[in-house]
Amino acid sequence: MSPEELQTIQEAIRTEGLEGWIFSNFHHRDRISDAILHIMPETTNSRLWVYAVPAQGKPVKLVHAIEAGLLEELPGSTQIYLNRDDFITALYPLGHKCWGAHFSETLPAISYLDAGTAGLFEKAGMKLVSAAGLIQRFKGVLDTQGIQAHEQVARALYDIVVMAWEEVQDAYTHHRTITEGELRSIMLEVFHRQKLITDHPPLVATGVHSGNPHYDFSGSGAPLQVGDVVQFDLWAKEGPKGIYADISWVGIFGIFAREAVKRAFTDLVEVRETVYRFIVAELAAGRPVSGAMVDTKARDLLTGLGYQGAIKHRTGHGIDTECHGSGVNMDSVEFPDSRLILEGSCFSLEPGIYFSDFGLRTEINVYIMQGKPRISGRDRQFTLLTC
């Protein structure tokens, strides 16, 4: 960890009004601790370790004697323990302070601290609160370089959608069978050629399959049928330390869409745009906006249009080095996120509605730069793709 990173961590601690940030791990169970502290997964971690970063001053490292060098690359003083009593005794100097820890009642994505270890911390007099805000400020917001990396990938994904849809149009024009699997393979080939990394292949769903937000298949998948909805959802980044982009587009395998599909798509786009304008207006007025507020706005709009029973997921998620990142999620129901949209926040807006015979999702990415929301990539989708 560089001095600059330590300074950023301590600034985040002070901004959140805490006295410290407590990291710990055992068998690499806490992915966030490893990621923030740059601990490689191949490092032996057979004993519990603790890294305590105070708001001011030097951090404290607590490691077992047989893995004494595990945190040697990190700044701070080192204390060695041999047994449980040693471990608890070493914790006492950290007592009577308020520490951010990796747990949350509403955000399971950051809840890595087990109850047993938390009990030991509390036994030593440490007051524990959720580190959700700390994690967002350190890992879940982008700097200028990160935004540029995100923008570059977003533009590439938009180009891939155009290319994939040209294949769909060609198949329709020449009465050629084309399957979900073929389209996914075409996208993955471009990913490989452009050296884009993804944690899962793109989603390609046609017909009734589009009604499943996390549809997947093996083999060739289903063939596209004339008149069916075709849903694309693709996400990628450049290199292990790159920043993801994540977009969804939807079209019809044919020239015309059914009235129910056209109406649903038009309504979804209006909800997406209204929610985006809501964020723009609130931030321009200097009013704080939480992820839960954005999701509530979207749900109220969809419910008002008669789609209450068709909503299956939150309005969006944080984006950083992971597609579903550590920053604020647009969520008021599944895992309510009261964290605020901050400078450097990057997230998706992807309202979706799903029925028994089809589903639709339109997804854009938004980031905050100089206090203003900006949509990444090229022109977002306003009309259904057709052949």
**What is the four-CA torsion angle of 43, 45, 49, 51, rounded to 10 degrees?**
20
Q: What is the pTM of this model?
A: 0.93
d(CA 299, CA 302): 5
d(CA 1, CA 335): 31
Whether residue 120 contacts residue 91, with contact meaning beta carbons closer than 8 Å, is answered with yes
CATH superfamily of 3-138: Creatinase/prolidase N-terminal domain (3.40.350.10)
Calculate mean pLDDT across residues 107-120: 94
Q: Please check whether residue 13 is in contact with residue 100, taking contact to mean a CB–CB distance below 8 angstroms.
A: yes
Mean per-residue pLDDT, 140-156: 96
Average pLDDT of span 267-289: 98
CA-wise closest residue to 261 among 175, 173, 358: 358
Radius of gyration of the chain (CA): 23
Query: What one-character DSSP code corresponds to residue 324?
Result: S
**Mode of pairing for the β-strands spanning 77-81 and 60-64:** parallel
End-to-end CA distance of the chain: 52
Quote the tokens at residue 69. 């060098």
pLDDT tens profile 196-215: 999 999 999 999 999 999 99
- pLDDT of res. 167: 97
User: Would you state the structure tokens that stand for residue 97, as one six-digit string?
Assistant: 């302070």
Model confidence at 134: pLDDT above 90: yes
pLDDT at 379: 84
Number of H helices, E strands in the chain: 9, 15
Model confidence at 12, pLDDT cuts 50, 70, 90, reads very high
240-269 pLDDT, tens digit per residue, is 899 999 999 999 999 999 999 999 999 999
**Residue 3: predicted pLDDT:** 84
- CA distances from residue 339 to 104, 282, 326 in whole angstroms, order as listed: 12, 15, 11
Where in the chain are the domains?
3-138, 144-375
Residue carrying the six token digits 């390609």: 204
DSSP state of 385: B
Q: What is the pLDDT of residue 1?
A: 79
Same fold, 3-138 and 144-375: no
Tell me which architecture the domain covering 144-375 has in CATH.
Alpha-Beta Complex (3.90)
27-85 pLDDT, tens digit per residue, is: 999 999 999 999 999 999 999 999 999 999 999 999 999 999 999 999 999 999 999 99
